[in-house]
Amino acid sequence: MAGTEAGQRLDVFLTRKMPEWSRSQLQGVIRRGLVNVGRRTASKAGEKVEAGDAVTIRAQHEALRAVPEDLPLTVVYEDEDFVVVDKPAGMVVHVGAGVKSGTLVNALLHHLGGGLSGVGGESRPGIVHRLDKMTSGLILVAKNDPAHRALASQFKSRSIRKHYQTLVHGLLAKDRGEIRASVGRDPVRRVRMKAGGIRAREALTAYRVVKRFRYFTLIDAEPHTGRTHQIRVHFASIRHPVVGDKLYGAPGKFRYEGKEYPTLTRNFLHAAKIELAHPRTGAPLVFTSQLPRELADFLLFLDREDRLL
């Protein structure tokens, strides 16, 4: 190992040396005791490698490759360059460690007969951006490489605008505002992100209050950056977690006048609107998606309970 690589995390070092592996795959191999640093078996993905260390891995790589599956798919728009899909909550976007079927990509490969861009590799063909598993709504998928690169460029320049409808616990003090807090990996719970976490990157979310309930606030949230779990992390950081989001501290129950009710089994987070330029022609496009039935029904329930108080 070169001296310039000294001090790197073991999983980061291996990811850079073995790009055909995902970082999560390598972390799993390390946990199974299949990586040696010198004569010692590594036990943690976060341990540091030092100059002169010989790092060996005793595992064979299994390439992640998505295959077509006949799954329900709601296509909002489709042309020769890209597709807009209304993804349901509970569906993972692409295959990965521990997820080999049932994803949006599996469904798209069946729907399109394999016609997706190859920029993202065999595990996530066509995928330009992602939505969390328990987030519903609009997602763009590229059908060819030029379209993929054009859409990725728009995301990088932040010219694509995305609006999410989200319900948060509590009453926000202002009708409009911004949350500006860097987002990085949570050092304790690795499945979470955290405001100011490990290798935090700048993040900005603008919001507008749509409706106030007695104990909740319905918001239009517009992320100006695309960090993992950004909206969820930002509102949790100001003590207004997204309803249903237990990972970030949302309670599973709430009370109305002494009566206890469950919240939701999914996050109240829906990608409701997306604005972009067509990747080939540059023509402005706007797509919208209605709230899923379970979220709309929850708002009706809150309305009814508020009127009864």
Angle between helices 23-31 and 10-17 (to 10 degrees): 130
Check: CATH 3.40.390.10 for 75-156?
no
- pLDDT at residue 118, rounded to an integer: 86
Matching fold, domains 3-57 and 75-156? no
Q: Which fold has domain 161-308?
A: Pseudouridine synthase (3.30.2350)
> Is the pLDDT confidence value at 143 over 90?
yes
For residues 167 and 29, which has the higher predicted lDDT (pLDDT)?
Answer: 167
Pairwise CA distance, residues 210 & 217, whole Å: 8
Q: Does the annotation count 132 as an active-site position? A: yes
> Is the pLDDT confidence value at 1 over 80?
no
Pairwise CA distance, residues 121 & 176, whole Å: 40
Q: Is 38 left (phi over 0), alpha (psi -120 to 50) or beta?
A: left
**55 pairs with which residues across the strands?**
37
Domain extent listing, the chain: 3-57, 75-156, 161-308
Task: Tell me which of 11, 81, 86, 132 is the catalytic residue.
Answer: 132
pTM: 0.81
> Is the pLDDT confidence value at 134 over 80?
yes
- pLDDT at residue 11, rounded to an integer: 86
Which CATH code fits 3-57? 3.10.290.10
- pLDDT at residue 20, rounded to an integer: 67
- For 66-115, the pLDDT digits (tens) are 889 999 999 999 999 999 999 999 999 987 766 778 999 999 999 998 88
- pLDDT at residue 46, rounded to an integer: 84
- pLDDT at residue 15, rounded to an integer: 82
Question: For the residues 297-301, what does the mean pLDDT come to?
Answer: 96
- pLDDT at residue 193, rounded to an integer: 94
CA angle 26, 231, 108 (to 5 degrees): 60
CA angle 238, 248, 255 (to 5 degrees): 80
What are φ and ψ of residue 245, in 5° steps?
Answer: -90, 75
How many other C-beta atoms lie within 10 A of the C-beta of residue 86?
20
- pLDDT at residue 300, rounded to an integer: 96
